[in-house]
Chains A and B, each alone.
Chain A
Amino acid sequence: MSTQQQEPESQESPQDPEMKGTESPQQRRLKEKEEGMVDEHAEEEAEAAGETVHIKVFRYDPEVADKQEPRFDDFHVPFEKGMTVLDAVMYARDEFDSSLTFRHSCRQAVCGSDAFFVNGSQMLGCKTQLSELEQPVRIEPLPHQEVVKDLVVDMDHFYDQMHAVEPYFQDEDTPAASDLEEQRQSPENREKIKMSSRCIWCGACMSSCNIAAGDNEYLGPAAINKAYKFAMDDRESEEIKEHRLRILEQEHGVWRCQTQFSCTEVCPKDIPLTEHIQELKREAVKKNLKFW
């Protein structure tokens, strides 16, 4: 049973030929969204027909003797228009199995709690429409992180890496608390770090990175992106920037990135992670270049 139906007449964006190769991730997503609008009618039809969506959910429970062997459980969830992956697992938990465990919070792609491995790719459960997925929808915990229970993974290592880059504003010239004043940033500089500041710490990028999977000490795309946000902020002093670059240019820093672009492709916030890592590589080279 499928809820996906093809619209007989495809709608092509008139901008397509020009946009190819130059579109930003946001533009691409917007275009995909616009193209997805043609499925709206199909979604309504599926809902009216009382269709269900078949989801296969990874299960593992170390505390129950007969559930310690990982397996997939099948659930058939009634389809509703606009239903997301998170909606489906919540329905399965509420109606079929209250022991089904997963993280979620804001349901608005802001908290970053519900990153899952859906049909072979890292996605945010609350952002991913079921109608866009091939059935049965296979929902697993993020790869390369140990599973604590069902869809819940251990994020400790991810958070350790995030904290390793000192993800907080530092400025030696910060005025004393008594005469604090506004620290202004130029609009151009804000624009430069805008995308990097969108990170929601969901861990999808880290999970998709094969290098991070093979090198536990690699800072990983999320942490490097976080460092980029501060290293490129012109309100921090040159000394602090150099200090940040020293952290990043270590053996397990930016140089471990091998430009697979996996992180950039799975990032639910469209952050150009690989681009940021490459820019930091160039900064590190510039810092160390000596012509004498």
Chain B
Amino acid sequence: MSQSYNRGLIEDFGRWKEFSAGMWAWIFHKFTGWMLIGYLFTHIAVLSSAIAAADGQTMMLAGEQVDAYTGTLQGLESLFIVRVLEVGLLAVAVFHILNGIRLLMVDLGVGLTAQDKSFYASLVLTGVITVASVPTFMAGVGL
């Protein structure tokens, strides 16, 4: 073979138009998966304050002396951005679960012709559950 041309990354970015339901489902699943892994590390970091609390460490929160674990959690929960992130976390988790079930069905050969519809259904259901959760997550938060 003589000289040939590799269109490389520019070609890949130019292909966004061909993205279809299955492709978006794949991208969202990967994205939400990484987000959940990221959350797990944050979760471990927050939980580790329980070790400090067990060692007797305390902190001041709203003029009160509380143990390190309670103070960390209550401090985070009082922040508006944390509540918003929690709503986002719920959305990410719900989509990942629903799409995971969809993928399980695909693996089993069930509903292959409706794979795009099941993706859209996952999105809609995620949206509904997320919106419905907003009042609960935002209850009592100080802006």
Q: Which residues of A contact B (CB under 8 A)?
A: 20-25, 60, 62-63, 70, 119-122, 143-144, 146-148, 154, 156, 208, 210, 213, 258-262, 265-266, 272, 274-275, 278-279, 281-282
Do residues B4 and A261 form an inter-chain contact, with CB atoms below 8 A? no
User: Nearest Cβ distance between residue B60 and chain A, in whole angstroms?
Assistant: 50
Minimum C-beta distance from B123 to chain A (A): 16
Interface residue total, chain B, C-beta cutoff 8 A: 31
The residue that B22 contacts in the complex, of A120, A143, A146, A260, with Cβ under 8 A, is A260
Residues of A within 8 A of B34 (CB): none
Contact residue among A25, A70, A156, A258 (Cβ-Cβ distance under 8 Å from B7): A70
8 Å CB interface, B1-57 against A:
1-7, 11-12, 15-18, 20-23, 25-26
Distance to closest chain B CB from A204 (angstroms): 11
Tell me whether B1 and A262 are in contact (CB under 8 A).
no
Please, how many angstroms separate the alpha-carbon atoms of A147 and B16 in the complex? 20
Q: Which of B4, B18, B117 contacts A147 (CB 8 A)?
A: B4
B140 at the interface (CB under 8 A from A): no
Min CB–CB distance A39 → chain B (angstroms): 22
Residue B109, interface by CB 8 Å: yes
Report A231 CB to chain B, min CB distance, Å: 16
Could you say which of B107, B108, B109, B112 has the most chain A C-beta atoms within 10 Å of its C-beta? B112
In the complex, the chain A residue whose C-beta lies closest to that of B1 is A154
Q: Which residue of A lies closest to B11 (CB)?
A: A143
- Cross-chain pairs A/B with CB under 8 angstroms, 24 sampled: A22-B114, A25-B113, A62-B4, A120-B17, A120-B18, A121-B17, A121-B18, A144-B11, A146-B4, A146-B6, A147-B4, A147-B7, A259-B26, A259-B103, A259-B115, A260-B22, A261-B20, A261-B22, A261-B116, A262-B23, A265-B22, A272-B112, A278-B106, A278-B109
Report, nearest first, the 4 A-B pairs whose CB atoms are least far apart.
Answer: A261-B22, A120-B17, A62-B3, A146-B4
A208, B18: Cβ atoms under 8 Å?
yes
Q: Is B111 an interface residue (CB 8 A)?
A: yes
Chain A contacts for B25, CB-based, 8 A: 260
Residues of A within 8 A of B12 (CB): 143, 213
- Quick check: A62 and B2 within 8 Å, CB to CB? yes
Distance (Å) between the CB of B86 and the closest chain A CB?
A: 29
Residues of B83-136 contacting chain A, CB below 8 A: 103, 106-109, 111-117
Give B116 Cβ to nearest chain A Cβ, in Å: 8
Residues of the A chain whose Cβ atoms lie less than 8 Å from the Cβ of B4: 62, 146-148, 154
- Give the nearest-CB partner of B20 in chain A: A265
* Chain A residue, CB-CB nearest to B109: A278
**Cβ-defined partner of A148 (8 Å) among B1, B18, B108:** B1
Q: Is A156 within 8 A of B1, CB to CB?
A: yes
Q: With both chains docked as a complex, state the minimum distance between the C-beta of B8 and any C-beta of chain A, in angstroms.
A: 10
Asked whether, in the complex, the Cβ of A261 is within 8 Å of the Cβ of B18, the reply is no
Task: With both chains docked as a complex, state the minimum distance between the C-beta of B19 and any C-beta of chain A, in angstroms.
Answer: 9
Are B22 and A21 closer than 8 Å at their CB atoms?
no
Q: How far is the CB of A22 from chain B (nearest CB, A)?
A: 6
A258 touches B26 (CB 8 A): yes
Q: How far is the CA of A146 from the CA of B12 in the complex (A)?
A: 13
Q: Check if B22 sits within 8 Å of A278, measured CB to CB.
A: no
In Å, the complex CA distance between A20 and B108 comes to: 20
Q: How far is the CA of A266 from the CA of B20 in the complex (A)?
A: 11
CA distance A119 to B14 in the complex (A): 11
Q: In the docked arrangement, what's the CA distance between A15 and B129, Å? A: 33
A143 partner residues in chain B, CB cutoff 8 A: 7, 11-12, 15
CB pair A279–B109 under 8 Å, yes or no, is yes
| Nearest CB of B to A225, in Å | 14
Contacts of B16 in A (CB 8 A): 120
Which of B15, B103, B112, B115 interacts with A120 by CB under 8 Å?
Answer: B15
CB–CB A22/B22 < 8 A: no
Q: Which chain B residues border A62 with CB–CB below 8 Å?
A: 2-5
- List of A residues within 8 angstroms of B21 by Cβ: 261
By a CB distance below 8 angstroms, the chain A residues around B11 are 143-144
Q: Note all chain B residues with C-beta closer than 8 A to A266.
A: 18
What's the nearest-Cβ distance from chain A to residue B41, in Å? 25
